[in-house]
Structure 1
Amino acid sequence: MSAALPLTACGQQRVAAGAPGTSPSAAPEGTSSSTPSSTPSRSGAGASPYVEPGAHDGAPHYGDNNAYRRPRDMSPASGKDAQREADRIEPVLERLWKQRKWDPKSVRTALLALGYEELRTGPKGEQLGGKLEVRSMDSRYEGDHYVTPEGAQIGLHVHKDACVTAFVQKSNYQVQVNGPYMETGCFEPPTGH
């Protein structure tokens, strides 16, 4: 008798749980191989083969479906350069936040005063110069309509593999370093998919 090899939505073969001749595979180090109590196990064989280890909500293909939301890796040297720029930006955002000035125009003006140049792009999205992007906060759905919260998002392209990503808004501000996102550069993509 042979084990069933169903195809997943992404075309990868997986051995069905409880198929003859199979055993539960070991979970990666630091993760649990036990099945969550809300998900029944199949014949005591362990977690469903369609749930990825570390999937936040137990969804199949969580990693593939959310790859666009993971920043790329930074080299250590680029990470060090990005942190140096983050350390320059953070006190400016703190000052603006205390002054209750979090609109994109005020934030852009304050960061340009540090010597950054605004990012310019061509008609096909190609970068023509500059490294700083300041824009409004992303809109979000509340109740029955979209709202755009007060505040500004900041993206500083330090190197091709390194960004400073920040925001300042009424409730708080934050500055961090990360690699660029696959589809949105220095800005974390909104949820979707």
Structure 2
Amino acid sequence: MTTIRTRWGRLGMPAVAALAVLAAGCGTEHVGAPGAPGAAGAPSPTSAGAGAVPGGAADFPCPGETPTGTPAPSSRSAAPTGPPLDHYAENHAFKAPLPLHGRYRCDGLAAVRRIEGALEPVRAGRRADPETIRGALVGLGYPAGKVKVQPGGDFLVDATGLCLSGSTSGGRTTVEAFAGYADGTGCEEPRGGH
């Protein structure tokens, strides 16, 4: 009986250690946690990362914007406001784009107005094919290699530290500016997860 206890004790320790490592792994790094991607003090993948970090830059009214107290967050920023009922929101938080703050937010709003002004006549004239949209965006000064346009009129511009996505489908041209993603994929929405 003594040898069975000793043998199980020796065999059980590596199993317990392996379970502890697995339990501490996936799902424990949260966006905004110290040392996590996108956290204050953590290196950022984009030059606008400092503008995307909460507390990194103060928000203020931008030129052409009516001061309304706290600026409204982008409709793309899907940050949960309360505890999730399940882990779906937590497990998909890596897909939530980082908001812009401070000067970067003002740069983003200005870029949104420029792109909407250039693409709305294209959409209204029913010429919103990928090459026409790409030509309008390149005409605004964005490098052709940083502009991606889908056949349905959706587009993505990586403006070096500023991400601009939008669509010319539907009743109007829509454009949103954001600072990339916390996992460091730049302007491309991450496809992985755990």
Give the TM-score taking structure 2 as reference length.
0.50
User: Greater helix percent: which structure?
Assistant: 2
* Higher relative contact order (Cα pairs below 8 Å, separated by 6+ residues): 2
Give the TM-score taking structure 1 as reference length.
0.50
User: Greater strand percent: which structure?
Assistant: 1
